[in-house]
């Protein structure tokens, strides 16, 4: 029978009891992790968010009724216990911080009984994720998820503390707003008062934070929830959290400076890890050329090598044709020590490459004894093969993989392959934190789909002064004052210096194919505000979920979000999104014409 806790006051969390408390009486409350009834003695592992401590109920120490109750405890019962802290008589449990202690109980109260949970509440659960997410409130009791959320809380607390010390103001911006320029699909909220009109949930506080700069709040930050209606990949959520900031009267280096100090502070305080400053900088072009990615993982080598010149006139048409393309290239990576990879596995790599739009993958496998297996042997003389191996620094036992196509495809394929192989070789140590700033992004990106340039970051990103005179003649070559912070192959955050000059902004809209009217229609309030004195400003935003995922070593961001959504953007626990009543729709002036059958 469940009782109230009247008259009792918790003195400690379970794992906060230490050797200093030996001999003291404590009152603990929590969930039964495990109860073992050994006849005259009952052992209970008591759990709360801090961890576990062992409680002993022994006949004679405690009244008959309580002792009997102790014998009937089950997993997940909520209990209150009073007892005396003792040194553990049995073997010390090295896995628990309280493993050398136990509490000899003299009082027990059951505060709530519990049905058998649908899965055991335990660390490193083998339960299917769908089931865990359906009963997320039980899943959140598990120690590994608890530790993740505790670290997350620490990160946000420390961020607030750091930003306050650096003179930032925390200011909230609206959730119900207008479309922001981040380029993803918006989540829309219908307006009842303005039938047919919709708010957009913010993809980021971008425009508002720039307006705050216009208003003179020269250092703003916010731990901001953002919404993007994109097709979900493993590391995406429809709603996610950004550490968002904007600064006035600064240039790129100032933003990078504050942010690398923030990161160093967080890693030191949360993980005891020293981040050497300044963090390495790498221009975007170099990142693409060397790593095939704008978020290179620097924990391992396997850099891309350009062999276009060497093979452009060879007899292997896959190489020579690619080299002849206007933007064509032939590049390779050396997977050291993987030369004995079985044919079947290499075929799998070829399939993997095709997933990145490659037509195929050419390879040279060098055996430990120097024997060479090459997928294009018949088109190459022995000397040509030897020359290519030399260019790739190939040694006995190495596997050389080549992609030939337009640059964009080759970068993508080899960039992804590099990471795939590193994973396979166990080169990805989650405790090795390699930070990198990627700078000098292209201002514009050509969209084949839209047949026009689009902004690579967003339309308010400042071009590099020295490139601006090429905006009409060679817009694709203009670089931006944009920067991303990358950690172990993951883009942690990004930002830019913003345009604050009217003429540059107008030109930028023109290049992006906006008419003046269209630009004004979408961003009138910002452009209007800029007329009344706008300071030079710049900013950056981090994905908090990703940051915490990397800090905790979690495999997915779902493990660092209390109530995450799954791939199809639904919540398995609440079943959101859901159908609403006819009356609600009517009030909003909305008629639904298309419903997923499963939801009818």
Q: Shortest approach of ligand ASP to residue 548 CB, angstroms?
A: 17
C-alpha–C-alpha distance, residues 9 and 31, integer Å: 16
How many of the other CB atoms lie within 10 Å of CB of 591? Answer: 8
- One-character DSSP codes across 513-544: T--HHHHHHHHHHHHHHGGG----EEEEEEEH
Asked whether position 129 contacts ligand ASP by CB under 6 A, the answer is: no
Q: What 3-state class would DSSP assign to 20?
A: helix
Q: Shortest approach of ligand ASP to residue 542 CB, angstroms?
A: 9
Which residue of 50, 69, 82, 204 would you call a contact of ligand ASP, by CB under 6 A?
A: 204
Asked whether position 459 contacts ligand ASP by CB under 6 A, the answer is: no
**Strand runs labelled E in 348-481:** 362-366, 372-374, 399-406, 435-439, 444-447, 452-455
Asked whether position 496 contacts ligand ASP by CB under 6 A, the answer is: yes
Tokens of 16: 């906060």
**Contact indicator for 281, 439 with CB cutoff of 8 Å:** yes
C-alpha–C-alpha distance, residues 438 and 383, integer Å: 39
C-alpha–C-alpha distance, residues 338 and 418, integer Å: 12
Which residue of 346, 361, 455, 540 would you call a contact of ligand ASP, by CB under 6 A?
A: 540
Asked whether position 206 contacts ligand ASP by CB under 6 A, the answer is: yes
Q: Binding-site residue total for ligand ASP (CB under 6 A)?
A: 9
Q: Shortest approach of ligand ASP to residue 71 CB, angstroms?
A: 57
Choice between 47 and 481, CB closer to ligand ASP: 481
Which residue of 73, 101, 349, 541 would you call a contact of ligand ASP, by CB under 6 A?
A: 541
**Contact indicator for 523, 181 with CB cutoff of 8 Å:** yes
Asked whether position 83 contacts ligand ASP by CB under 6 A, the answer is: no
Q: Shortest approach of ligand ASP to residue 205 CB, angstroms?
A: 7
C-alpha–C-alpha distance, residues 172 and 181, integer Å: 19
Q: With CB under 6 A as the contact rule, which of the stretches 109-117, 260-268, 335-343, 494-502 interacts with ligand ASP?
A: 494-502
Which residue of 86, 182, 491, 506 would you call a contact of ligand ASP, by CB under 6 A?
A: 182
C-alpha–C-alpha distance, residues 551 and 502, integer Å: 41
Asked whether position 539 contacts ligand ASP by CB under 6 A, the answer is: yes
Which residue of 83, 202, 292, 494 would you call a contact of ligand ASP, by CB under 6 A?
A: 494
Choice between 471 and 544, CB closer to ligand ASP: 544
Choice between 220 and 267, CB closer to ligand ASP: 220
Q: With CB under 6 A as the contact rule, which of the stretches 99-107, 129-137, 298-306, 489-497 interacts with ligand ASP?
A: 489-497
Tell the residue number behind the tokens 């060479």, with chain if given: 372
**Contact indicator for 242, 542 with CB cutoff of 8 Å:** yes
C-alpha–C-alpha distance, residues 87 and 100, integer Å: 6
Q: With CB under 6 A as the contact rule, which of the stretches 167-175, 259-267, 430-438, 537-545 interacts with ligand ASP?
A: 537-545
How many of the other CB atoms lie within 10 Å of CB of 101? Answer: 21
Q: With CB under 6 A as the contact rule, which of the stretches 61-69, 99-107, 142-150, 491-499 interacts with ligand ASP?
A: 491-499
Which residue of 238, 296, 489, 495 would you call a contact of ligand ASP, by CB under 6 A?
A: 495
**Contact indicator for 438, 484 with CB cutoff of 8 Å:** yes
> Which is nearest to 380 in space by CA: 406, 396, 402?
402
Residues 20-49 as x/- pattern, contact with ligand ASP by CB under 6 A:
------------------------------
Q: How many residues are given for the chain? A: 600
Asked whether position 210 contacts ligand ASP by CB under 6 A, the answer is: no
Task: List contacts with ligand ASP (CB under 6 A).
Answer: 182, 204, 206, 494-496, 539-541
């Amino acid at each position: 029978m469940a009782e109230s806790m009247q008259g009792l006051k918790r003195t400690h969390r379970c794992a906060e009891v230490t050797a200093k408390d030996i001999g003291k009486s404590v009152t603990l409350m929590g969930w039964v992790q495990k109860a073992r009834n050994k006849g005259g003695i009952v052992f209970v592992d008591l759990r709360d968010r801090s961890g576990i401590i062992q409680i002993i109920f022994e006949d004679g120490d405690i009244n008959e009724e309580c002792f009997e109750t102790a014998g009937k405890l089950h997993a997940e019962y909520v209990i209150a216990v009073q007892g005396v802290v003792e040194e553990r008589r049995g073997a010390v449990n090295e896995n628990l911080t309280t493993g050398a202690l136990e509490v000899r109980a003299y009082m027990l109260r059951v505060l709530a009984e519990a049905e058998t949970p649908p899965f055991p509440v335990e660390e490193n659960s083998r339960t299917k994720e769908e089931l865990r997410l359906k009963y997320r409130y039980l899943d959140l009791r598990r120690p590994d998820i608890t530790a993740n959320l505790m670290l997350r809380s620490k990160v946000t607390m420390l961020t607030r503390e750091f930003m306050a010390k650096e003179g930032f103001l925390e200011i909230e911006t609206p959730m119900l707003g207008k479309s922001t320029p981040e380029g993803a699909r918006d989540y829309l909220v219908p307006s009842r008062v303005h039938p047919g009109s919709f708010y957009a949930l913010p993809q980021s506080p971008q425009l508002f934070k720039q307006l705050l700069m216009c208003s003179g709040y020269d250092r703003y930050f916010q731990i901001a929830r953002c919404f993007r209606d994109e097709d979900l990949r493993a590391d995406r959520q429809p709603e996610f959290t950004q550490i968002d900031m904007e600064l006035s009267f600064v240039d790129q280096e100032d933003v990078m400076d504050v942010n690398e100090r923030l990161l160093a502070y967080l890693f030191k305080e949360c993980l005891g890890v020293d981040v050497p400053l300044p963090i390495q900088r790498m221009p975007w072009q170099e990142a693409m050329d060397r790593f095939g990615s704008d978020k290179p993982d620097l924990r391992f080598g396997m850099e891309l090598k350009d062999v276009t010149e060497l093979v452009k006139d060879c007899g292997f048409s896959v190489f020579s044709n690619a080299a002849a393309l206007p933007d064509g290239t032939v590049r390779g990576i050396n997977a050291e020590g993987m030369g004995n990879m079985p044919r079947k596995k290499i075929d799998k790599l070829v399939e993997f490459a095709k997933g990145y739009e490659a037509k195929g993958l050419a390879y040279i496998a060098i055996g430990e004894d120097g024997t060479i297996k090459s997928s294009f042997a018949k088109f190459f003389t022995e000397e040509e093969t030897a020359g290519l191996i030399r260019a790739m620094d190939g040694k006995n036992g190495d596997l050389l993989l080549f992609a030939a196509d337009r640059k964009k495809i080759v970068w993508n394929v080899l960039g992804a392959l590099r990471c795939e192989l590193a994973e396979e070789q166990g080169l990805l140590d989650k405790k090795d934190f390699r930070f990198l700033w990627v700078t000098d992004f292209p201002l514009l990106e050509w969209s084949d789909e839209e047949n026009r340039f689009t902004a690579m970051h967003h339309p308010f990103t400042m071009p590099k002064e020295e490139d601006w005179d090429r905006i009409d003649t060679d817009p694709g070559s203009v670089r931006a004052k944009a920067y991303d912070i990358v950690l172990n192959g993951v883009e942690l955050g990004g930002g830019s210096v913003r345009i604050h000059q009217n003429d540059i902004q107008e030109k930028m809209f023109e290049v992006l194919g906006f008419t003046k009217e269209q630009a004004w229609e979408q961003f009138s309030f910002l452009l209007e505000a800029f007329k009344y004195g706008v300071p030079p400003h710049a900013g950056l935003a981090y994905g908090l979920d990703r940051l915490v995922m990397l800090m905790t070593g979690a495999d997915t961001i779902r493990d660092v979000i209390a109530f995450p959504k799954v791939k199809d953007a639904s919540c398995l626990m609440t079943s959101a999104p859901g159908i609403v009543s006819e009356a609600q729709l009517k009030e909003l002036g909305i008629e639904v014409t298309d419903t997923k059958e499963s939801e009818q």
